[in-house]
A = this chain, B = another copy of it.
Amino acid sequence: MKRVQIMAVGSELLTPYYQDTNSLFLTQRLNDLGLNVSVKTVAPDDHDGLFLQVKIALAQADLIFVTGGLGPTEDDRTREVFAEVLGKKLILQDDLLIRIQERFARRGMNMPISNKKQAFIPEGAEILINDFGTAAGLWLNTGQNIVVLMPGPPHEMKPMFENQVWPRLQQFRTGYRTGRVLKITGLTESMVEDLVQDLYPKEQALQVTTLAYPGQIEIHLTSYSTQSAEQADESLKQLALAFLERLKENVFSAAGEDLETVIGRMLAKRRETVAVAESCTGGLIGHRLTNVPGSSEYFLEGAITYSNESKIDNLGVPADHIRKFGAVSVQVAKSMAAGIRTRARASYGLAVTGIAGPTGGTEGKPVGLVYTALAWDKSVEAVKNQFLGNREQVKFQASQKALDMLRRLLLQPNADSD
């Protein structure tokens, strides 16, 4: 098995402010080839510090993927240091220099003199064209290692990787990996565990990773085949089917989509509409629904009714309901949902009222108590929820629950309002 290292170069990545994220993308794509990452490093851009890290990398890894340090400034010395450690000369590549000059010319600019250094290439290296910047990448076969140098900006690195590194990496393919993400809401992590525990595959070729967030659980399924992509796909399909059979309608997406995207598609297909009345979520449900391009097709309006007056004036919540039961109550949640549905002439009305915290809780109505309600042509239903977490987590879980009530209704064959 090849030892694979990913190295991010840049002293800014050794401050508290920046984090390398290129390595997540690279890891995903290397995994797709059946390659695992053995070690990740972040190296500084001062000469001595970088020199040491390059030496260590060349000694420990077979395949080395480096991002950053290919720019025109003095601090960009990835090319130079690799050449130095490997004892290779840097040679001016005329065609590359012309390419860089042309790039500036197309914008009506002369190439600054500092960019000339980007056309110096260690002898024997293959150039990886950069379609989105002046920093060319390099593919270097040292005899002992394959070193791939790529620029740091993700919008330059990713296309370079896909178009020019990926084809060259096929020779190191050990197999075919494919994956799928199931997204789940309405169950706790331990409920999910109980349902699928015995499905955890024993074969190394199938992997299951569960990530749990408040209000959402993701199950990442991965399948690996030494034979073919088709075989990997087929095993993945079987695995996914087994999980779906157990988790049923609790899986809101088997393709890694957001809940708002899934609901948007369902509503658009049925040519139905929704309106929302939000108290403690404060606009988050509207924000999420309208994050989906094209949502104006089915999202009509929202009312963020934080004050009691606004609940009474805008949604027709009976004042004596608020007096008798409080603003955080099943009665008020139902009136809000029915009120916004009527006002907006929408197919569905969603409502939330609760206590997001950290203050405002009482013994009878603690922080995290949230009523979510859904109104449609046949009925109004409300659910009492007790969420854990900080203010933002309570808000997210409340929005998730309200959206999920709508999704589950839309799944029912008789949910149509006609």
A residues apposed to B, CB below 8 Å: 12-17, 19, 21, 24-25, 27-28, 31, 36-44, 49, 52-53, 56, 60, 209, 211, 220, 276, 278, 280-287, 289-291, 293-296, 299-307, 309-310, 313-314, 343-345, 356-360, 391-392, 395
Contacts and interface: CB of A to CB of B under 8 A. Distances in A.
A14 B40 contact: yes
- Give the oligomeric copy count: 2
Nearest to A29: B16
7 residue pairs, one from A and one from B, having the closest CB atoms:
A282-B290, A283-B286, A302-B304, A283-B283, A301-B310, A16-B28, A283-B287
Contact of A282 (B60, B287, B307): B287
Contacts of A391: 291, 293
A94 to B, nearest CB: 34
A89 to B, nearest CB: 28
A7 to B, nearest CB: 10
Contact of A39 (B42, B296, B304, B314): B42
Given A19-B24, A283-B290, A300-B309, 14 more contacts: A15-B31, A17-B220, A39-B43, A39-B52, A281-B287, A284-B287, A293-B358, A301-B304, A301-B305, A303-B303, A303-B314, A304-B304, A310-B344, A313-B343
Contacts of A294: 359
B39 A293 contact: no
B300 A310 contact: yes
A38 B278 CA distance: 49
A77 to B, nearest CB: 16
Contacts of A344: 307, 310
Given A41-B40, A209-B17, A306-B296, A301 B314 contact: yes
Given A44-B39, A286-B282, A303 B306 contact: no
Given A304-B276, A392-B291, A44 B38 contact: yes
Nearest to A282: B290
Contact of A38 (B49, B289, B395): B49
A52 to B, nearest CB: 7
9 contacts: A276-B304, A281-B290, A282-B286, A282-B287, A283-B287, A291-B391, A300-B306, A301-B306, A302-B304
